[in-house]
Structure 1
């Protein structure tokens, strides 16, 4: 399965859990809303029931006061009730709706109240006309019976409402608890799925990327290994590309080594073949000078003296080319005391009348022959271009975080700015071509070694102010 598909599945699962959580919360919130709405409506129903019952009781009390005192002031509350109670019944009917037990009870209360109203109107009329007929009606206790029935009906109505109210209160609390529980469950599942999927993808991705990084590091160090990746995803394609690159580089490096070996053999053969005629020319000139010394004119002797100089320069050029060709040879690194190495080189190159100053140089784990060639050519270059009388050569080093910076400084003739880059090209020299000491190969060898090591070298110099060569070097 592709890595992108795995990530998509993980995110899809998390999104589905979030959607399920949102849907559950929505449904629970609807139940909470319905139960809350019912409780609010129930509060209004109970309040209206108490208000209606209170209004009916007020009418009854006013009616009894009128019967006892014959004072019509008591009937004010009675007549006010006649206006308000029907409205209260209508409001209550709208709140409780149709087709339920409470509606039946409310209808029976309204009927009983209407019966009581008829009864009360009859008593009022009797009170106005004949006290005896009033007494006869009262003895039957019709009004008391109606009032008792109304009270019982209201009690039953309220009991049913309180029961429903209690049920919906429990439902409301249950819905709230369920909402919290489901939210916690889905949140926990989302976190678990997110953490597990993230950890899983990071683990397999990091592990495989680390193996690819190690492969790339091995390739950079010349170890052309390969890695196994059986997963069929995007990283597998990258691993396959790295394996192919490693294989091709390994093949190319082997071919290059074979060609370099052939070129080295060719260089040795060519140098031997080139040196043979040079030695022959030198021998012929020597024989001519020995056999015909008395017969040679001064001008001819001067020409014959130039020929050995040219042949020696040619031999020096051939030796320089051989040294340049040997730079392709790799030797294992070793621990080197740079102080000891530089002193040994200086003893064989620097004249005794020079002042040589060597600061404390570090120990390095590196290829000895290449570092030796760099110092030998730089010190040799300093000797060649420094006057013998007051010659000073200073060799120092500075340590940085990841590398060392070496300096070889002299007080020689210096180098003009336009030649600072040109001197590192092969066969480029500041001396005359007939001077055998300089072949123009030494600094080219230094530059090639520095470039192969991926280091840097610069020259700081002015004409007549000496020269300082600064190069960097790292441990292998």
Structure 2
């Protein structure tokens, strides 16, 4: 089992986290400018009644698209750098409320329903990191679902002094050969130009779980479709 990352880590790890945060924060200013400038160019050309050639218009649209993707990637990396390092004070939280909140923040498309079996369990940890965790897991399922509708099933049970959570979806799934690689930052199974996603969601989820002393993994499922992700979090003894 890998050594958990904790907010008390010192030395090179902490320095790397701080550098990542500073770098992504500063680069976002450039990315936002790159997103805005193509629009200014288009407005200036329109004001002068200049019509771009089809190739020039395509190139300008490509620049705008790459700038948006760069900004989205930097935003995701900034979130990754904040995990554990800028965490809220640990507290007990109702697991059902955490899951329900993440379900309400899912995008409208695809239309996913959430079935939960949380058994009245509570977990202990920083609220902002726990929200990042469930947003990342459920959001990843939505981002890669290949149908207009689907279902998420979230089941929790006590496991020693911890709470074990399994999140299952009915999407296309992932080949077992990639089950480890998808937790690495910026890892995607298809080109980012096709998916429009940065590939940081599961890396954020893994970092949150490990910062709380747990592990996360994709587990086998008997269903013909879908993916199941299992992780464990500190229990909170009836919410106390």
TM-score by length of 1: 0.43
Asked if residue 404 in structure 1 is aligned to residue 163 in structure 2, the reply is yes
- Partner residue of 1:371 out of 124, 127, 130: 130
Deviation at 1:470, TM superposition (A): 0.9
Indicate how the Cα distance of structure 1 residues 407 and 437 shifts in structure 2: closer, same or farther if over 3 A, else same: farther
- Any conservation in 2 of the 1:394–1:410 contact (CA below 8 Å)? yes
- Partner residue of 1:389 out of 125, 135, 148: 148
**3-state DSSP of counterpart to 1:429:** coil
- Partner residue of 1:339 out of 79, 90, 96: 96
Task: State the alpha-carbon separation in 1 of the partners of residues 43 and 58 from structure 2.
Answer: 15
Deviation at 1:443, TM superposition (A): 0.7
Indicate how the Cα distance of structure 1 residues 449 and 392 shifts in structure 2: closer, same or farther if over 3 A, else same: same
- Partner residue of 1:466 out of 222, 226, 237: 226
Residue 171 of structure 1 is matched in structure 2 by none
- Any conservation in 2 of the 1:424–1:447 contact (CA below 8 Å)? yes
Asked if residue 284 in structure 1 is aligned to residue 37 in structure 2, the reply is yes
Task: State the alpha-carbon separation in 2 of the partners of residues 426 and 454 from structure 1.
Answer: 20
Largest Rg, 1 or 2? 1
Deviation at 1:455, TM superposition (A): 1.4
Residue 64 of structure 2 is matched in structure 1 by 308
**3-state DSSP of counterpart to 1:443:** helix
Q: Which 4+ residue blocks in structure 1 deviate beyond 4 angstroms?
A: 266-269, 461-464
Task: State the alpha-carbon separation in 1 of the partners of residues 62 and 212 from structure 2.
Answer: 40
Residue 115 of structure 2 is matched in structure 1 by 357
Structure number having the greater strand percentage:
2
**3-state DSSP of counterpart to 1:365:** strand
- Any conservation in 2 of the 1:398–1:404 contact (CA below 8 Å)? yes
Indicate how the Cα distance of structure 1 residues 258 and 331 shifts in structure 2: closer, same or farther if over 3 A, else same: farther
Task: State the alpha-carbon separation in 2 of the partners of residues 286 and 464 from structure 1.
Answer: 46
Q: Matches of residues 36-185 of structure 1 in structure 2 within 5 Å?
A: none
Asked if residue 380 in structure 1 is aligned to residue 139 in structure 2, the reply is yes
1:126-174 CA distance string (max 9 Å, x none): xxxxxxxxxxxxxxxxxxxxxxxxxxxxxxxxxxxxxxxxxxxxxxxxx
Deviation at 1:260, TM superposition (A): 3.8
Task: State the alpha-carbon separation in 1 of the partners of residues 53 and 63 from structure 2.
Answer: 16
Indicate how the Cα distance of structure 1 residues 342 and 274 shifts in structure 2: closer, same or farther if over 3 A, else same: same
Task: State the alpha-carbon separation in 2 of the partners of residues 287 and 464 from structure 1.
Answer: 49
TM-score by length of 2: 0.80
**3-state DSSP of counterpart to 2:218:** strand
Indicate how the Cα distance of structure 1 residues 332 and 258 shifts in structure 2: closer, same or farther if over 3 A, else same: farther
Task: State the alpha-carbon separation in 2 of the partners of residues 342 and 455 from structure 1.
Answer: 18
Task: State the alpha-carbon separation in 1 of the partners of residues 234 and 25 from structure 2.
Answer: 36
- Any conservation in 2 of the 1:457–1:469 contact (CA below 8 Å)? yes
- Any conservation in 2 of the 1:282–1:311 contact (CA below 8 Å)? yes
Indicate how the Cα distance of structure 1 residues 333 and 326 shifts in structure 2: closer, same or farther if over 3 A, else same: same
Relative contact order higher in (CA < 8 Å, ≥ 6 apart): 2
Superposition CA RMSD, Å: 2.9
Structure number having the greater helix percentage:
1
Task: State the alpha-carbon separation in 2 of the partners of residues 302 and 475 from structure 1.
Answer: 53
- Any conservation in 1 of the 2:28–2:75 contact (CA below 8 Å)? no
Task: State the alpha-carbon separation in 1 of the partners of residues 70 and 148 from structure 2.
Answer: 29
Indicate how the Cα distance of structure 1 residues 415 and 455 shifts in structure 2: closer, same or farther if over 3 A, else same: same
- Partner residue of 1:427 out of 176, 186, 194: 186
Residue 3 of structure 2 is matched in structure 1 by none
- Any conservation in 2 of the 1:309–1:434 contact (CA below 8 Å)? no
- Any conservation in 2 of the 1:313–1:435 contact (CA below 8 Å)? no
